Amino acid sequence: MNAIADIAKMSRRADFPGLPEGWHYLDTAATAQKPQAVIDAIARAYGEDYATVHRGVYRRSADMTIAYEAARQRVARFVNARSSDEIVFVRGATEAINLVAQSWGVSTLKAGDRILLSQLEHHSNIVPWQLLRERTGIEIDVCPLTADGRIDLDAAEAMLTDRHRLVALAHVSNVLGSTLDARRAADLAHRVGAKILIDGCQAVPRMTVDVQALDCDFYVFSGHKLYGPTGIGALWARGELLDAMPPYQGGGSMIDRVTFAATSWAPPPQRFEAGTPNIVGALGLHAAIDYVDAIGLDAIEAHERALVAKARDALSAINSVRLFGPADSAGIVSFAIEGVHPHDIGTILDEEGVAIRAGHHCAQPLMDHLDLPATARASFGIYNDEDDVAALARGIERVTRIFG
């Protein structure tokens, strides 16, 4: 079967009620549309199944608690954690990274310790470490990129010293679509005694993630990029690290016993989940993982890479278009048109029924590296097909005609 036929067979557009006929949604890297199965799971959770968790002794509360903890177990299987106790539910990857910074970082790092980031990191994997630097006096180093937009692990190897305590890198760039050799990065970090945190937001929707095989120490992702609801995500961390980490928020559910004299903490993961959790979000995430796994992440990755190849071929045929990132980028194509601001590109494409992202993509240091204020970005999901690529190409041709 040729690539076009594979793409047509793979597209699951009919499963997504948010995609009307004639609208070409190419902003999945920002947030994915939701399949009906996820919407139905959320509706049931807020409707006939709704109750609180971990507190009630009545039957529905007990059933919801079982469902909530089943969602945690589902996430654990999804990333091949050793135990569901290694999964902390958070609002998203941003909160997960802040949790690590303010708990593990504050309790472990001191002035003079170093963290290694990369040039392509999302702001959520930069700013929390800067806040930690202000609080503790740590230092931050920045790994450069290769010519085709990958994190340069040869350079990282040369930069790492025994003063480095953490390496924090994106598994897949949200701008360039470049994929990190995460296992090699982990080996390099561990060689100097550092821990490694992997930002998996753009990886988990499109490739198999096995935290044990990657040998990382922390792995974070958001549910809404994985076809699930907003406001839910996960932090995976090695059990021994979670056991040693203090809570960074206080409230209900995360305690063992409270008196006015002192408080003792619940064990992980409850220690890090203060207050009433996003119960419905967790159940929606469970449904999203089931949906993705039923299709198969290997098939999803192949589907998106085929769409990327078609899009890059179509756009590279337009003389004024400049493409960024490697040819084998994972589901993402960033580009610029000579003499046209990305916001104008996005506006004209919207008139053509094509939705893309235009801006700095929460990666301003990367924009500085590219010497651009912003780029346009098309990103694909399991609902896209060659019609979306054709619509994108037609829209770009119209942009070039308008701007001469």
Handedness of CA 237, 239, 245, 248 (dihedral sign): positive
Structure tokens at 147: 């010519």
* Domain final residue pick, 240, 272, 293: 293
Between helices 59-79 and 279-295, what is the axis angle to 10°? 40
**How high is the pLDDT of residue 190?**
98
Query: How far is Cα 276 from Cα 273, in angstroms, rounded to an integer?
Result: 8
Could you identify the residue written with the tokens 């198999």?
Answer: 208
Domain match, 154 and 102 both: yes
Domain match, 103 and 208 both: yes
**Residue-wise pLDDT tens digits, 10-69:** 778 999 999 999 999 999 999 999 999 999 999 999 999 999 999 888 999 999 999 999
**How high is the pLDDT of residue 301?**
95
Map residue 117 onto helix, strand or coil: strand
Query: How far is Cα 137 from Cα 140, in angstroms, rounded to an integer?
Result: 10
Over residues 58-81, the mean pLDDT reads 97
Query: Is 34 inside any structural domain?
Result: no
**How high is the pLDDT of residue 88?**
98
**How high is the pLDDT of residue 7?**
66
Q: What is the pTM of this model?
A: 0.96
**Residue-wise pLDDT tens digits, 120-130:** 999 999 999 99
**Residue-wise pLDDT tens digits, 119-176:** 999 999 999 999 999 999 999 999 999 999 999 999 999 999 999 999 999 999 999 9
Count of residues for the chain?
404
Q: Provide the terminal-to-terminal Cα distance of the chain, rounded to the nearest Å.
A: 40
Domain match, 124 and 249 both: yes
Domain match, 141 and 250 both: yes
Residues acting as catalytic residues: 362
Domain match, 182 and 59 both: yes
How do 164-170 and 114-118 pair as beta strands?
Answer: parallel
Domain match, 361 and 214 both: no
In one-letter notation, the amino acid at residue 130 is Q
**Residue-wise pLDDT tens digits, 194-222:** 999 999 999 999 999 999 999 999 999 99
> Nearest 5°: phi and psi at 287?
-65, -40
Question: What is the percentage of the chain residues whose pLDDT exceeds 70?
Answer: 98
For the chain, what is the domain count?
A: 2
Number of other residues whose CB lies within 10 A of the CB of residue 233: 29
Domain match, 286 and 354 both: no
Q: Are 150 and 139 in contact (CB under 8 A)?
A: no
**Residue-wise pLDDT tens digits, 283-327:** 999 999 999 999 999 999 999 999 999 999 999 999 899 999 999
Query: How far is Cα 221 from Cα 285, in angstroms, rounded to an integer?
Result: 11
**How high is the pLDDT of residue 8?**
66
**Residue-wise pLDDT tens digits, 241-280:** 999 999 999 999 999 999 999 999 999 999 999 999 999 9
Q: Are 315 and 26 in contact (CB under 8 A)?
A: no
Residue 105 sits in a domain of what CATH number? 3.40.640.10
Query: How far is Cα 26 from Cα 311, in angstroms, rounded to an integer?
Result: 11
Domain match, 274 and 313 both: no
Q: Are 297 and 207 in contact (CB under 8 A)?
A: yes
* Domain final residue pick, 267, 293, 319: 293
Query: Is 356 inside any structural domain?
Result: yes
Domain match, 68 and 194 both: yes
**How high is the pLDDT of residue 1?**
40
Query: How far is Cα 359 from Cα 362, in angstroms, rounded to an integer?
Result: 8
* Best CA proximity match to 175, nearest among 351, 315, 296, 342: 342
Which residues span the domain enclosing 338? 296-402
Number of other residues whose CB lies within 10 A of the CB of residue 351: 9
* Domain final residue pick, 293, 318, 353: 293
**How high is the pLDDT of residue 2?**
52
**Helical residues (DSSP H) of 103-181, grouped into ranges:** 106-108, 127-136, 153-159
Residue 369 sits in a domain of what CATH number? 3.90.1150.10
Query: How far is Cα 32 from Cα 107, in angstroms, rounded to an integer?
Result: 35
If one compares 94 and 10, the residue with the highest pLDDT of the two is: 94
Q: Are 229 and 99 in contact (CB under 8 A)?
A: no
